[in-house]
């Protein structure tokens, strides 16, 4: 089955799918995106992802590329045409194509790209059984990371530094020593008393959709979540640490800057959140 990508109204063979050189996403990172998990043929938490897309678009005064209901159909169609049962769907909306000028172009339609790709669930399970390593890096991003823009260069550099150090994620750390979030995930710990702790999402991090759904999963398991900052030292001394995102769900962190978290093995709380996630999350048939 050939890979198919949606570009501005057309379903194209993936190798032929391209955007114009003067797309403002390409020239100014003037665009936003969403990544949804696809599991067992369902698009997970699509409503929340599209609510967040709406917020990102409004914050940047970019209009919707099409009616929301139509966008839902196209997302599901791209998943279907690619035969993705497990994997992810990526959608990107930019301000559109216009001669390069910093000011917003007048009367230009936003550009929309949607791709879908398969992922092997067995690989994810294996990664969760082993846990991942993180490094910490100083926060060096702008202060509107609550908007899910395609301007991700600091995240790229941080994650590349993590790879060079033999780790899989980098945590941005604020000047006050508290952990903000990962390069492409939110950060959590489980305290010695069994409380889940994650930073409040009002400012300075992306309000992760997986994070939001995990609040409900935690409640269903009788777990309490505290929204507050935590330091790197607190994370190293925690009972468990983990990250959350649409691509990792809840993924154990077993090492921070080379120091083991607890006994250096995935904890039971994160694994129970992971196991219960799909039961609680919204499932939209592709």
* Interface residues toward ligand PDD, by CB under 6 A: 35, 181, 184-186, 206, 208-211, 244-247
Min separation Cβ 158 and ligand PDD, Å: 10
Give the DSSP letter of residue 149.
Answer: B
Min separation Cβ 98 and ligand PDD, Å: 26
Clarify whether 180 is annotated catalytic.
no
Pick the closer one to ligand PDD by CB: 46 or 98.
46
Task: Residue 267: count other Cβ atoms within 10 Å of its Cβ.
Answer: 22
Min separation Cβ 63 and ligand PDD, Å: 22
Question: How far is the C-alpha of 86 from the C-alpha of 125, rounded, in Å?
Answer: 13
Task: Tell me if 72 sits within 8 A of 100, measured CB to CB.
Answer: no
Pick the closer one to ligand PDD by CB: 87 or 98.
87
Min separation Cβ 192 and ligand PDD, Å: 26
Question: How far is the C-alpha of 108 from the C-alpha of 232, rounded, in Å?
Answer: 45
Question: How far is the C-alpha of 16 from the C-alpha of 72, rounded, in Å?
Answer: 23
Question: How far is the C-alpha of 133 from the C-alpha of 139, rounded, in Å?
Answer: 18
Min separation Cβ 105 and ligand PDD, Å: 26
Pick the closer one to ligand PDD by CB: 197 or 209.
209
- Tell me the C-alpha to C-alpha distance, in Å, between residue 273 and each of 29, 38, 58, 120: 34, 18, 32, 20
Look at strands 186-190 and 196-198 and give their pairing.
Answer: antiparallel
> In b/e form, how buried is each residue of 46-69, taking b as 16+ CB within 10 angstroms?
bebbbebbeebbeebebebbbeee
Pick the closer one to ligand PDD by CB: 191 or 247.
247
Residue 82 CA to its chain's centroid (Å): 21
User: Edge-to-edge strand order for the sheet containing 87-94?
Assistant: 10-13, 4-7, 111-118, 87-94, 31-39, 42-44, 283-285
Q: Which residue in 39, 148, 180, 236 is the catalytic one?
A: 148
Min separation Cβ 282 and ligand PDD, Å: 13
Pick the closer one to ligand PDD by CB: 111 or 145.
145
Pick the closer one to ligand PDD by CB: 89 or 238.
89
Tokens of 46: 């699509």
Tokens of 8: 């501005």
Which of the residues are catalytic?
148
């Amino acid at each position: 089955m050939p890979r198919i990508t949606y570009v501005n109204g057309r379903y194209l063979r993936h190798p032929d799918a391209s955007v114009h050189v003067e797309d403002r996403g390409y020239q100014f990172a003037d665009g936003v995106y969403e990544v949804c998990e696809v599991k067992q043929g369902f698009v997970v938490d699509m409503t929340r992802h599209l609510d967040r897309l709406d917020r990102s678009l409004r914050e940047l005064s970019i209009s919707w590329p099409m009616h929301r209901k139509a966008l839902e159909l196209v997302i599901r169609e791209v998943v279907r045409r690619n035969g993705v049962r497990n994997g992810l769907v990526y959608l990107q909306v930019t301000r559109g194509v216009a001669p390069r000028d910093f000011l917003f172009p007048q009367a230009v339609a936003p550009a929309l790209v949607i791709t879908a790709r398969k992922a092997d669930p067995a690989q994810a399970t294996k990664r969760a059984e082993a846990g991942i390593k993180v490094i910490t890096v100083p926060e060096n991003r702008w202060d509107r990371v609550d908007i899910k823009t395609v301007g991700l260069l600091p995240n790229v550099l941080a994650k590349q530094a993590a790879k060079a150090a033999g780790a899989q994620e980098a945590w941005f750390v604020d000047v006050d020593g508290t952990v903000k979030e990962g390069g492409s995930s939110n950060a959590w710990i489980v305290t010695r008393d069994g409380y889940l702790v994650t930073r409040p999402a009002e400012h300075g991090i992306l309000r992760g959709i997986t994070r939001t759904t995990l609040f409900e999963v935690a409640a269903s398991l009788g777990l309490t979540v505290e929204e507050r900052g935590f330091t790197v030292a607190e994370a190293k001394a925690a009972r468990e640490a983990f990250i959350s995102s649409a691509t990792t769900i809840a993924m154990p962190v077993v090492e921070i800057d080379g120091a083991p978290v607890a006994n250096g093995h995935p904890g039971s709380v994160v694994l129970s959140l992971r196991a219960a996630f799909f039961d609680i999350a919204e499932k939209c048939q592709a």
